[in-house]
Amino acid sequence: MLTLIRRELLDNLMTFRFAAATFITLLLVVANTFVLIIDYERRLTGHNDAVNMHQRQLQEKITYSAGEVRVDRPPNPLSIFNVGFDKRLGNEIEVSHKLVPSLWDAGMHGSDNPFMDMFASMDIVFIFEVILSLFALIFAYNAFAGEYESGTLRLVLTHPIGRGKILVAKYISAMLCLIVPLLMSLLLAIILLTTSTSISLNSDDFLRIGGIILTSVAYLSVFYLIGLLISAATRRTSTALMLSMFVWGFLVLVYPNVILTVIPRPESPDALRTSAFNRIENIWETFDRERKHYLATDDFPGEDWGYELRGWGWRSAGFRDYSRILLYTYRSVMDFSGFGEKDEPKMPHAQKHFGFLGALTIDAADRTWLIRKPALEEIFIQPANMERVWLKLSPVGLYDAATQAWAGTDLLGVRDFFHAARQYRQSVINYFYDNKVFESRQWFSGDKGEADWSGLPQFSFQRDDINTNAKRALPDVFLLLMINVVLFIVIFLIFVKTEV
Partner 1 sequence: MWHITKREIYDNLNSLRFALTAVLLLALMVTNAVKHLREQPKRVQRYQDAVTESSDRLTAHADDSLYKLAQYGPGNFYKKPSSLHFCANGGELVLPDTVKVDDPPVFMTDAEGNRLLEGIWSLSYPDANLQNKNVGPNVSQVDWAFIIGYILSLIALWFTFDAFSGEREQGTLRLMLANSIPRHTVLIGKFLGALLSVSIPFALAVLVNLLLISTANTVHLTPEAWGRLGIIFCLALLYTSLFVALGLLVSARVQQSAVSLMILLLTWVTFVVFMPSTLASIASSFSPAMSFDEFWQQRNPIQENLWEKYKEGLWSSELDDWKLRAKSEFYTENAEREERRQEEQLKYRASQVHRARAITSISPATLLQHLMEGFAGTGFERHLQFVENTQRYARQLREFVADTDRADPESLHILAVREGMSQKPISPESVPRFEDTLNLSRDFNTAATELLLLTLFVLVLLSGAYLAFVRVEV
Q: Is residue 46 part of the contact set for partner 1 (CB under 8 A)? A: yes
212 class by beta-carbon count within 10 Å (0-12 exposed, 13-18 middle, 19+ buried): buried
14 class by beta-carbon count within 10 Å (0-12 exposed, 13-18 middle, 19+ buried): exposed
Q: Judged by CB under 8 A, which of 5, 44, 53, 481 binds partner 1?
A: 53
Q: Judged by CB under 8 A, which of 159, 195, 384, 499 binds partner 1?
A: 384
Q: Is residue 39 part of the contact set for partner 1 (CB under 8 A)? A: yes
Site for partner 1 in 89-148 (CB under 8 A): 89-90, 103-104, 106-122, 127, 130-131, 134, 138, 141-142
Distance CA 26, CA 182 (A): 8
Q: What is residue 183's three-state secondary structure? A: helix
The nearer residue to partner 1, 258 or 500, going by C-beta atoms, is 258
Distance CA 100, CA 304 (A): 27
The nearer residue to partner 1, 308 or 452, going by C-beta atoms, is 308
Q: Is residue 150 part of the contact set for partner 1 (CB under 8 A)? A: no
Site for partner 1 in 244-303 (CB under 8 A): 245-246, 249-250, 253-254, 257-258, 260-262
The nearer residue to partner 1, 155 or 254, going by C-beta atoms, is 254
Quick one: which segment of 173-181, 287-295, 386-394, 491-499 binds partner 1 (CB under 8 A)? 386-394
Are 445 and 336 a contacting pair, CB within 8 Å? yes
Burial per residue of 116-127, b for 16 or more beta-carbon CB atoms within 10 angstroms, e otherwise: eeeeeebbbbbb
Quick one: which segment of 71-79, 88-96, 165-173, 417-425 binds partner 1 (CB under 8 A)? 88-96
Q: Is residue 458 part of the contact set for partner 1 (CB under 8 A)? A: no
The nearer residue to partner 1, 380 or 433, going by C-beta atoms, is 380
Q: How far is the CB of 207 from partner 1 (least distance, A)?
A: 26
Q: How far is the CB of 233 from partner 1 (least distance, A)?
A: 13
- Are β-strands 92-94 and 311-322 bridged in parallel, bridged antiparallel, or unpaired? unpaired
How far out from the chain centre does Cα 449 lie? Answer: 43
In this structure, the dihedral spanned by the alpha carbons of residues 292, 356, 458 and 417, taken in order and rounded to 10 degrees, is: -50
Size of the site for partner 1 (CB under 8 A): 74
Q: Is residue 310 part of the contact set for partner 1 (CB under 8 A)? A: yes
How many CB atoms are located within 10 Å of the residue 300 CB?
17
Site for partner 1 in 160-219 (CB under 8 A): none
Site for partner 1 in 227-246 (CB under 8 A): 237-239, 241-243, 245-246
The nearer residue to partner 1, 107 or 302, going by C-beta atoms, is 107
Site for partner 1 in 327-366 (CB under 8 A): none
Distance CA 244, CA 227 (A): 6
The nearer residue to partner 1, 104 or 432, going by C-beta atoms, is 104
Quick one: which segment of 24-32, 165-173, 270-278, 454-462 binds partner 1 (CB under 8 A)? 24-32
- Are β-strands 327-339 and 311-322 bridged in parallel, bridged antiparallel, or unpaired? antiparallel
Site for partner 1 in 61-80 (CB under 8 A): none
Residues 6+ apart with CB under 8 A from 441: 347, 351, 447, 448, 449
Distance CA 102, CA 96 (A): 12
Q: Is the dihedral of CA 415, 420, 426, 432 positive or negative?
A: negative
Residue 73 φ then ψ, to 5°: -90, 120
The nearer residue to partner 1, 231 or 440, going by C-beta atoms, is 231
Q: Is residue 26 part of the contact set for partner 1 (CB under 8 A)? A: no
The nearer residue to partner 1, 234 or 440, going by C-beta atoms, is 234
